[in-house]
């Protein structure tokens, strides 16, 4: 006999619904050690009676911890893909008990769309990258305040004046001469501390990805630096879970909406359903490739970008190039191959180069 349990998980408590023939049973537990122990004791009683226990829970911020606790006790957990399971969110009756009962009912019928959680390493990389982004944005805000102050004092100011310690010291010395050093000294100290913290996080990211094959492969792409490689690695996790390059591009949210009814087909803007960080990293790599015009101008990717830019504008062209880049990355990671710039050239140019090489060898 199988016991199907639906869980409505929140920050401070979780509501449990157990399907029974005589009527559903509901209980609430705090998301603390005592609450988990009480729930697991009840599960052990079912297991002691020879029953198989299955638990389903929606994907939330503390789902990983809940799942780890349950699986450590030998309980199978189904993590629900909330994007594909709208029954709970769009329900007219929105209560914890009703949500838990709905999850349990769909679990019993094996009709829950499952979501795969990323590995512990990828989760740690995501957290570190998120903190780094917060620190970098805070630093930009502080620098903008200093730029505004310098402009108000009528001083010459450039974006590069605050990027280095030497440049900041020159600005600080100039402000002290005008008796305004005390005003900006805390801001300069904040920038120093933020940069130090960012460096510490980057060192930790370096340690976590040392010897990581995926990061090594990604960095063979011209224009793909460490931050972009770490971000793509963190949000891709395992490339094998994507059956095709189209599915990977769809996961990144770079494919257009499609509405097909009868003989009518509508294509809209990109879905933006996947991780924003992954989508942004792919766009940044495209921009890095674009900046290396001396070596990438003849690439089909860039030629298509320039051609599309004339009619569609730079925004849509960059997104189209990022979608193509996602396809290239999927093939690289799936085949465990480094980036080959020769494959990016026009086929006619490749044939011409091969012919010239053969003629050169024949002449020798």
* pLDDT, mean of each 10-residue run, the chain (364 residues): 91 92 87 93 89 90 92 90 80 85 92 89 95 96 87 78 84 74 81 95 96 95 94 95 94 88 79 91 94 87 90 91 95 94 70 52 52
Geometric angle at alpha carbon 245, from 241 and 251, rounded to 5°: 60
Check residue 118 and report its DSSP letter: P
pLDDT at 343: 87
Question: What pLDDT score was predicted for residue 327?
Answer: 95
What is the pLDDT, as a whole number, of residue 267?
77
Q: Which residue shows structure tokens 């982004």?
A: 133
DSSP 194: H
Rounded Cα–Cα distance for residues 133 and 126 (Å): 10
What is the phi/psi pair of residue 37, to 5°? -65, -45
Which pLDDT value is given to residue 19?
A: 86
Residue 245 · residue 330 · CB < 8 Å = yes
Residue 350 pLDDT: 46
CA dihedral 138, 326, 113, 59 (to 10 degrees): -10
HSE, CB side, 13 Å, CA atoms: give it for residue 324: 16
CA angle 353, 359, 360 (to 5 degrees): 90
- Cα dihedral across residues 277, 278, 282, 283: positive or negative: negative
The 3-state DSSP class for residue 158 equals coil
The b-or-e profile of 58-80 (16+ CB within 10 A means b, else e) is bbbeebeebbebbeeeebebbbb
Task: State the alpha helices, DSSP H only, in 153-274.
Answer: 165-177, 181-208, 213-218, 226-236, 245-251
What totals of helices (H) and strands (E) does the chain contain, helices first?
14, 7
pTM metric for this prediction: 0.84
Cβ proximity of 333 and 233 under 8 Å: no
What span, in angstroms and rounded, lies between the C-alpha atoms of 214 and 236? Answer: 10
DSSP state of 95: -
- Residues 107 and 92: their CA atoms lie apart, in Å, by 20
**Strand-pair category, 256-261 with 264-270:** antiparallel
Say if residues 53 and 75 touch (Cβ distance below 8 Å). Answer: yes
List Cα–Cα distances, 294 to 222, 285, 291, 314, 324, in angstroms: 12, 16, 9, 20, 21
Q: Which helix (H) or strand (E) holds 345?
A: none
CA distance 275 to 279: 7
**Model pLDDT, residue 260:** 80
């Amino acid at each position: 006999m199988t016991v199907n349990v639906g869980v409505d998980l929140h920050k401070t408590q979780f509501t449990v619904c157990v399907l029974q023939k005589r009527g559903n049973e509901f209980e609430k537990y705090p998301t603390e050690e005592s609450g988990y122990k009480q729930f697991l004791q009840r599960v052990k009683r079912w297991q002691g009676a020879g029953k198989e226990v299955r638990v389903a829970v929606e994907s939330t911020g503390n789902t990983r911890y809940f799942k780890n606790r349950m699986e450590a006790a030998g309980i199978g957990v189904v993590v629900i893909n909330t994007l594909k399971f709208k029954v709970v969110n769009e329900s007219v009756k929105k209560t914890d008990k009703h949500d838990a009962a709905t999850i349990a009912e769909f679990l019993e019928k094996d009709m829950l769309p499952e979501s795969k959680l990323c590995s512990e390493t990828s989760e740690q990389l995501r957290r570190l990258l998120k903190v780094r982004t917060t620190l970098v944005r805070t630093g930009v805000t502080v620098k903008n305040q200093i730029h505004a102050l310098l402009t108000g004092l009528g001083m010459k100011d450039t974006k590069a004046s605050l990027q280095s310690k030497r440049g900041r010291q020159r600005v600080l010395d100039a402000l002290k001469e005008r008796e305004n050093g005390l005003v900006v000294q805390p801001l300069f100290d904040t920038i120093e501390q933020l940069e130090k913290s960012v460096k510490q996080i980057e060192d930790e990211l370096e340690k976590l990805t040392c010897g990581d094959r995926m990061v090594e492969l990604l960095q063979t792409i011209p224009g793909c630096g460490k931050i972009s490689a770490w971000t793509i690695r963190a949000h891709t996790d395992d490339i094998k879970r994507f059956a095709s390059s189209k599915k990977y591009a769809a996961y990144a949210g770079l494919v257009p909406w499609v509405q097909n009814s009868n003989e009518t087909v509508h294509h809209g803007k990109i879905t933006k359903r996947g991780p924003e960080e992954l989508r942004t990293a792919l766009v940044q790599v495209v921009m890095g490739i674009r900046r290396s015009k001396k070596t990438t101008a003849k690439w089909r990717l860039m030629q298509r970008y320039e051609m599309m830019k004339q009619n569609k504008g730079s925004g849509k062209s960059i997104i189209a190039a990022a979608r193509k880049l996602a396809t290239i990355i999927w093939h690289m990671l799936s085949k465990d191959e480094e980036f080959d710039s020769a494959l990016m050239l026009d086929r006619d140019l490749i044939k011409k180069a091969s012919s010239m090489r053969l003629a050169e060898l024949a002449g020798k």
